[in-house]
Structure 1
Amino acid sequence: MKRRPDNPDKPKRSAYDKALGLLARREHSRRELKTKLRQSGYEGEEARVAIDRLGEQHYQDDERFAEVLVRSRAAQGYGPQRIRAELKTHAVSDERIRQLLEAADVDWEASALDQLRRRYGGKAAPDPAERARRAQFLLRRGFAAATVRRATHAQVDDAADPID
């Protein structure tokens, strides 16, 4: 059995055990597991065999990973562009990304308005410069320009409505 360089008395865990430990904490894509195993010093073939075995046992599933990622990022208030970019880093196809975002059934405009309320309170932007800052905030979170425009102008329109 291999010994760990940092502690020669303790045997090194197998790539399978290491990957299983990572998956016990949260879902990971195949690509992400491969990278983490390589960084931990596991050779390519050993890592590939371990990831294949985890897939066969349904511990690792790229479909499940992608669905969980979309749901969690949308719940965290990120927009579709940001989620799309993150899924691309995990080698999810454009067609599958489109399907996942549609299946998520998120009201992106409501999500953008919620992010503005959480960050800036219920007050409308006092001037165009502040509205631009708020728009940039939403764009960085991954909302489409049209959604950002509607959300930032909706705040202005809502502030102009008299309260009965």
Structure 2
Amino acid sequence: MLQNKINAGDIRLSAMNLLALREHSAKELKEKLVRKYGQNEHVETAIAGLIEEGLQSDERFAEAFIRMRQRQGKGSVLIKMELRERGVPSSLLDILINEQDDIWPKLAKEVRHKRFHQLPADGREKARQMRFLHSRGFASCHIQAAFTDVLDGE
């Protein structure tokens, strides 16, 4: 698009179309709009207006993102890092991740059980399972919890 034909309404409509597909962080939204329209003063204005109207929310985006990544079997450390990269403030991340402190150990157990089906027979196997959970982004305390209590039916 030519720079002189771009107006605030076009940018706002593009932003709303992106948000209709899925939640976006303000940073993601800005990056996509800048890619499409270049550095335009209307981009910041459009995003600020959407935030003010409640159409864009980093908190809502983070909550949806956390749920999605939990369904994929990812841990709190990885999720926190990914959200930080997407521009979600650390203070908000701490609240949202810590709200679910009881979920992370249980999720680590489920992920370990789904992958390995049984507790490790020796130290070498335990180390392998621990490395797997670590690669999935679980914190050390959650990894330890995956080996302490036995899942139902295990």
What is the letter of the counterpart of residue 143 of structure 1? F
What stretches of structure 2 of length at least 5 have no aligned partner?
3-8
AA matched with 1:101: I
Deviations 1:111-138 (A, max 9, x none): 1010012222x22334433322221121
Rate the CA distance shift 1:145–1:103 in 2: closer, same or farther, 3 A. Answer: closer
The answer as to 2:131 corresponding to 1:147 is: no
Give the TM-score taking structure 1 as reference length. Answer: 0.74
Is 1:16 equivalent to 2:26 in the alignment? no
Which one of the candidate residues 58, 63, 78 is aligned to 2:59?
63
Higher relative CO (CA 8 A, sep ≥ 6), structure 1 or 2? 2
Alignment of 1:99-114 (within 5 A): 99-114=95-110
TM-score, normalising length: structure 2: 0.78
Tell me how far 1:154 sits from its aligned partner.
5.0
Q: Quote the offset at 1:30 in angstroms.
A: 0.5
Q: 1:106 and 1:44 mapped to 2: Cα distance?
A: 44
Output the CA distance in 2 between the equivalents of 1:45 and 1:27: 23
The alignment-based identity, stated in percent, is 34
Unaligned runs of 5+ in 1: 4-12, 160-164
Which residue of the partner structure matches residue 90 of structure 1?
A: 86
Q: How does 1:33-44 map to 2 (within 5 A)?
A: 33-44=29-40
Query: What is the rounded CA distance, in whole Å, between the counterparts of 2:97 and 2:89 in structure 1?
Result: 12
Note the C-alpha offset of 1:36: 1.1
After alignment, is 108-117 or 96-105 more displaced? Answer: 96-105
Contact 1:67 1:100 in 2 (8 A): yes
